[in-house]
Chain A
Amino acid sequence: MDYAFEAEGLVKRFGKTTALAGVDLAARSGTVLGVLGPNGAGKTTAIRILATLLRPDEGRAEVGGLDVVKRAAEVRRLIGLTGQYASVDEDLTARENLVLFGRLLDMGRATAGARADELLGRFGLADAASRRVSTYSGGMRRRLDLAAGMIGDPRIVFLDEPTTGLDPGKREDLWRTIRAMAAEGRTVLLTTQYLEEAEALADDITVIDHGRVIAHGTPAELKRIVGGLTIAVRSADPERAGVAAKVLRAVSGREPTATGGGTLTVPVDAAGALTEITQALDAASVEVAELSLRLPSLDEVFFALTGRHDEREESAA
C-alpha cells in the first residue's frame, strides 16, 4: 500500500518512564490518521519522533519514504508541524512570524511576504496580521500555528492536539480548516484526546494508551469491535409505547431504556435484530415514527478498550 508515513515498533524511554512501548503507525497518502489517547498515552512523543524532534530508542519510522533518523534533514522539507503549544514567536506580529518561517524555507523576501499574506487571508487572520501574537486569543493563535505549519506547502502535516483548550465553537472552526487542508490531498496526522474530534476528522484511528496501540481501524470498524449495537424506536402514537417496549423486551431479551422524547433504546447482538423487531412491531400493530440501528459512541469504544473512562475533563484543564 501507498503510505505517506509509516512507523514500526517505536520505543522511547525518558529515564525510567516508558513513553512508547512499541507503537506502529501508518497513514495512506492523502488520508487523515487520528491518534487518539488520553494525556500521557505517548501521542506527543510519537509525533515528535515522526517530526524528527526526537530519536526513537528502538523501532524505525519513515516519512515520505525517508528514514526520520538517517535522513532527518530531508524529512524536514516534507513536513509541517503544529505543536501542542503555539510554536510561534509571541513578540513578533503574525506576519513577521510567517515571513521569518518562509525565509527559513529559502523563499525570497517578496515570495515569503506574498505567501504570508495568502495564508493570513486563508486562515482568517488578515485583519490581525500586524498585531503582536501576544495579543491573540487562543483560537487565533492556533490558526496562526496551523498557518505557520503550512508555509512550505507540505504534503504531510503533523497536528499535535490542535484544538486542546479551545471552546467548542472555536473547535468547529478549526475542524473546517483541517478538513480543507486534508481536502487538498495532504496527509494529516492528528493527535487528540477528543473522541468526537477523531471521529469528525479522521479516516483511520489508532487508539494508544500507556505507549501501546490498543486498537486501529476506521471509526466504524472501531465501533464494531466493541459490538454493542443499539436499536432505537419511537412509536408514532405515545399510547402504544408500552406495547413497543414489550416487543423490544421480547425480541432482545433485555430491558429497554426510555431516553426521552418517547424514544426507547435496547442493546442487540446483531444487526439482524432490526428485521425481527420491525416484523414484531408490525405484528403488534405499533406504528413507528423512528426506527434506527445505532453504533456506540467513541466514548463507549474507548471505555470498552481500556476499561477506563475518557479522562479529558481532568486533563484538559
Chain B
Amino acid sequence: MTTDVREQTRPSIVNEPKRWRLARHSLALTGRELTKVRRNPGIFLDALFMPVMFLLLFVYLFGGAVAGSTGEYLRYLFPGIMVMTTVMAGLLATGMSINRDIKKGVFDRFRSMPIGRSAPLIGSVVADSARYVVTLVTLFAVGYLMGFRVETDLPSALAACGVAVALGFSLSWISVFVGVLIKEEAIVQTVAFLGIFPLAFGTSMVAPVETMPGWLRAWVDVNPVTHGVEAVRGLLVGGPVAGPVTATLLWSAGFLVVLVPLSVWAYQRRV
C-alpha cells in the first residue's frame, strides 16, 4: 500500500486563493516572457525594424514607378506590410522562443508543476500580444508620418490588427513545429526565414496579383497570407472585407488545428 500524502501537501506556504488560478499563473508566465524580451531584444527588434525598413524602401524607391506616386503606393502597401510584420513576428519571435523553452527544459519544469497545461501557452500568447501591440503602434506611427491614414473607422482598424495578429500567431506554430523536429536552433531560424519569403512576399502585398506571371499567381492565390493582406486592406482603406476576413480566420484556425497537435505529438515523441 502506498501512503496518501495529500494531507501533508505544503499547507503552510500556499497562501493564494483557489480562484483565478489559471489567470494568475498565466500572468506570472507573461511577466517572465516580457522580462526575457527586455533582456534579449534582438529578435524582437529584427521583427520590428525589418517591416519598417521595407515600408520605407518600397514606398520611396518603387512607389513612384509602381503606383504613379509614393502616396498612392503607401496606401496600397501599408496593409500588406502590417500583415508581413505580424507574420514575421510570429515565425521568428514566438516560434523561436517557444522552441527554446522546450529545449532548455523549462517546459518540463512547468509541466511537472500543478498548473494548467495551457498556462505557459496563454502566458506566451499574452506576452506576444504586448509585443504585437508595440510593433503595430510603431508601424502605424511610421506610416502616419509618411502620410498613411486609416480611411475607414477605428473599429475596422482594430479589427485589421486583430486579423493580422491571428494570422501571425497561427503561423508561429510552423516554427514551433519545425523547432521541435530540428534540434539545431540556427537551422530552425533559417527554415523560418525561408518560410517567410514565399509566405510573406508571395502575396498581393507589393503589387496587384493581376500583374504577376501565371505560376506566381497560382501560389499567391492559395497563399493564406494573401487573404490576410486583402482583409487588412479592406478594413483599413476600403474594399471587400467579409470574404477575405473569413478566409484568413479559417486558414488561421486550420493552421492551429493541424500544427498544435502535430507539435505536441512531435515533442512527446522526441522526449
Contact = CB atoms under 8 A, between A and B. Distances in A.
Contacts, number: 133
B9 interface: yes
Given A91-B39, A104-B28, A29 B112 contact: no
B36 interface: yes
Interface stretch (B14-22, B124-132, B216-224, B253-261): B14-22
A89 B35 CA distance: 11
Interface stretch (A77-85, A209-217, A309-317): A77-85
Given A6-B2, A15-B269, A51 B112 contact: yes
Most chain B CB neighbours (cut-off 10 Å) among A15, A83, A103, A108: A103
B186 interface: no
A156 B15 CA distance: 21
B105 interface: yes
A91 B115 CA distance: 22
B211 interface: no
A111 B15 contact: yes
A5 interface: yes
A86 interface: yes
A87 B108 contact: yes
Interface in A145-174: 148, 152-156
B2 A62 contact: yes
B183 to A, nearest CB: 13
A101 B104 contact: no
6 contacts: A4-B5, A29-B3, A89-B101, A104-B28, A104-B115, A107-B14
Contact of A92 (B5, B10, B35, B114): B35
A242 interface: no
B28 A100 contact: yes
Nearest to A89: B106
A240 B29 CA distance: 74
Nearest to B17: A106
Nearest to B115: A104
Most chain B CB neighbours (cut-off 10 Å) among A51, A90, A91: A91
Nearest to B25: A104
B149 interface: no
A64 B6 contact: yes
B215 to A, nearest CB: 38
B28 A103 contact: yes
B108 A4 contact: no
A96 interface: yes
Given A53-B108, A87-B105, A78 B5 contact: yes
A52 B112 CA distance: 7
A74 interface: yes
A115 B104 CA distance: 24
Contacts of B5: 4, 64-65, 78, 155-156
Contacts of B21: 106
Contacts of B31: 100
A3 B39 contact: no
B53 interface: no
Contacts of A155: 5, 8
B104 A107 contact: no
Interface in B127-164: none
Interface string A82-126: 011111111110001000110111111001000100000000000
A76 interface: yes
B271 interface: yes
B2 A4 contact: yes
Contacts of A108: 15-16
Most chain B CB neighbours (cut-off 10 Å) among A4, A88, A104: A104
Most chain A CB neighbours (cut-off 10 Å) among B2, B9, B104, B111: B2
B4 interface: yes
A105 B14 contact: yes
A92 B104 contact: no
A73 B119 CA distance: 14
Interface string B86-124: 000000000000000100111011111111000100000
B13 interface: yes
A2 interface: yes
Contacts of B35: 91-92, 96
Nearest to B105: A87
Most chain A CB neighbours (cut-off 10 Å) among B39, B40, B105: B105
